Amino acid sequence: MSLLDSYLHHAIAVFPSLLRGAVITVEVTTFAIFFGLILGTIAAFGKLSKRSVFKIPSSIYVDFIRGTPLFVQILIFYYGIPGLINGITGEVFRIDPIIAGIAVCSINSGAYNAEIVRAGIKSVDRGQMEAARSLGMTERQSMKEVIMPQAVRLIIPPLGNEFIALLKDSSLLAVISVHELSKNGMLYVSKTFAAFPAYISVALVYLALTMGISRVLNYIERRLGVSDRSE
Amino acid sequence: MIEVNNLHKSFGKLKVLKGITEKVKESEVVCVIGPSGSGKSTFLRCLNLLETPTSGDIWIDGEKITDSKVDINKIREEVGMVFQRFNLFPHMTALKNIALAPIKVRGLSEKEAYDRARALLKKVGLEDKADVYPNSLSGGQQQRVAIARALAMRPKVMLFDEPTSALDPEMVGEVLNVMKDLAKEGMTMVVVTHEMGFAREVGNRVLFMDEGIIVEKGTPQEIFYNAQSERTKSFLSKIL
């Protein structure tokens, strides 16, 4: 059997388990995008708030998460915190790796999203808020009707990049044995030693997924661009 | 209609307004002139609390708006403002720009608000631009929509902050004409402007501001042809 034949054989053989892994990867990423957006929006408004009860915790959150590696955050969340709880209560505490993975990725992504959302809101011209307020609209109404619709258009493109980064970064969850795409590739290699075809296949599946996200985002951007013809 | 008593405003150490006292009667058109940095825009922005006065009191239609218990939003419903840079909402059509606040703030139904908005667009001569977005309008058209937007709240007072300063010269006239019509209808107006022609023709009174105080005030005739203060004279000699 030639090398090429052998590689093709492995690429086909690894595929079903990669598909199963891809489902987990997409699942984790989707949940993390959802919760990360919520966290990011809350933290963005916290950082924009004039009141330090909101501002300081938001800033600490964003700085801590952005200043430390995701890999280390995963280790802290999955091993460190259960260990701490164990130490305090004396009871064994376990987290499901997928739940832990979704939580860490959401928290991590939220910090980056916070900066994107904050920057988007800040870059809407100040005169817009003044005009809205001068008409008697409350701060909340002005934010909802005037500022956010304009900010969203500025926020979507960088947010898309963030989602793609998140999908790729979720491969780090292999370290806490979440059976996502990379982990399943590694498992296959550990049985067959066919590293090249297996990991190339893993890479290609990631590529397909990220291209899928790009497509969806382009569609959303185009939709917003048509209905919203501002400068 | 508007009463201002010893109004001060500082930004940090910079004192921008140093004691403004003035009354504007109902249906009066008061033009505020003066060099840039004289505090005239800040004075105007204090009248709807876009700037919070450092000290001093302001009454609008008998209500003390500088009272800390007052609902700022309620006050602003009665005080329309037109900005130098128009500040139309770029993600909404001209019609929606005008109808938004009446719906959200006054609680009008969409139909009532859009009817009112159409009538106002007609009034400013832009009835055919209802479904156009601001970036497809010329500067003069945008400013007319902005005036219509402020009027849609049926304010008691209209504030104009250099409404023609960002316009190409050939568009100044169309905006001033809308403002003249408004003055004729008896709207109380405070206009910060460099348009001396407008001040002379439409203004009941002119205030000349410099370095945070009202240096001189009087009828347009008095200010433009018989100014008493040297500062007023030197300013006018530069711009007339």
Q: Which of A131, A150, A229 sits opposite B135 (nearest CB)?
A: A229
Q: pLDDT tens, B53-98? A: 999 999 999 889 988 888 889 889 999 999 999 999 999 999 999 9
Residue contact B50–A137, C-beta within 8 A: no
**What does the pLDDT read at residue A230?**
47
Contacts of B77 in chain A (CB under 8 A): 135-136
**What does the pLDDT read at residue B154?**
93
Q: Which of A131, A136, A146 sits opposite B105 (nearest CB)?
A: A136
pLDDT averaged over every residue in chain A: 92
DSSP conformational letter for B66: T
DSSP per position, B122-149: HHTT-GGGTT--GGGS-HHHHHHHHHHH
Q: pLDDT tens, B195-238? A: 888 888 889 999 999 999 999 999 999 998 888 999 999 998 88
| SS3 category, B8 | strand
Distance CA A10, CA A192 (A): 9
- In angstroms, the first-to-last Cα distance of chain B is 31
Give the mutation candidate from A123, A124, A126, A135 for the B interface (greatest B CB count, under 10 A).
A135
Contacts of B150 in chain A (CB under 8 A): 134-135
Residue B176: CA count within 13 A, CB half-sphere? 23
Distance CA B115, CA A57 (A): 47
3-state helix, strand, coil in chain B (%, to 5): 40, 25, 35
**What does the pLDDT read at residue A1?**
67
Pair B152, B117: CB distance under 8 Å: yes
Interface of B with A (CB under 8 A): 48, 50, 73-74, 76-77, 79-81, 83, 85, 87-91, 100-101, 104-105, 133-136, 146, 149-150, 153
Q: What is the mean pLDDT of residues A127-142?
A: 95
Q: pLDDT tens, A72-118? A: 999 999 999 999 999 998 888 889 999 999 999 999 999 999 999 99
pLDDT averaged over every residue in chain B: 92
Distance CA A208, CA A15 (A): 13
Q: Which residue has the tokens 């006239």?
A: B173
**What does the pLDDT read at residue A226?**
47
**Virtual torsion, Cα A60, A48, B67, B81, nearest 10 deg:** 170
DSSP per position, B83-102: -TT----TTS-HHHHHHHHH
Distance CA A61, CA B22 (A): 50
Measured from the Cβ of residue A207, the count of other Cβ atoms closer than 10 Å reads 11
Instruction: Tell me the sheet residues that pair with B33.
Output: B208
**What does the pLDDT read at residue B197?**
86
**What does the pLDDT read at residue A220?**
86
Contacts of B87 in chain A (CB under 8 A): 125, 127-128, 130-131
Minimal C-alpha gap between A125 and chain B (Å)? 9
DSSP per position, B178-213: HHHHHHHTT-EEEEE-S-HHHHHHH-SEEEEEETTE
Q: Which residue of chain A has the CA closest to B51?
A: A130
Torsion angles phi and psi, residue B125, rounded to 5: 75, 30
Q: Which residue has the tokens 């382009």?
A: A218
Minimal C-alpha gap between A110 and chain B (Å)? 27
Q: Which residue of chain B has the CA closest to A145?
A: B100
Interface of A with B (CB under 8 A): 125, 127-128, 130-138, 141, 145-146, 149-150, 153, 228-231
pTM passes above 0.80: yes
Distance CA B124, CA B217 (A): 31
Pair B214, B37: CB distance under 8 Å: no
Torsion angles phi and psi, residue A154, rounded to 5: -80, -25
Distance CA B230, CA B61 (A): 35
pLDDT higher than threshold 60 for residue B143: yes
pLDDT higher than threshold 90 for residue B126: yes
Q: pLDDT tens, A166-204? A: 999 999 999 999 999 999 999 999 999 999 999 999 999
Q: Which residue has the tokens 């790796």?
A: A97
**What does the pLDDT read at residue A231?**
42
Instruction: Tell me the sheet residues that pair with B188.
Output: B157
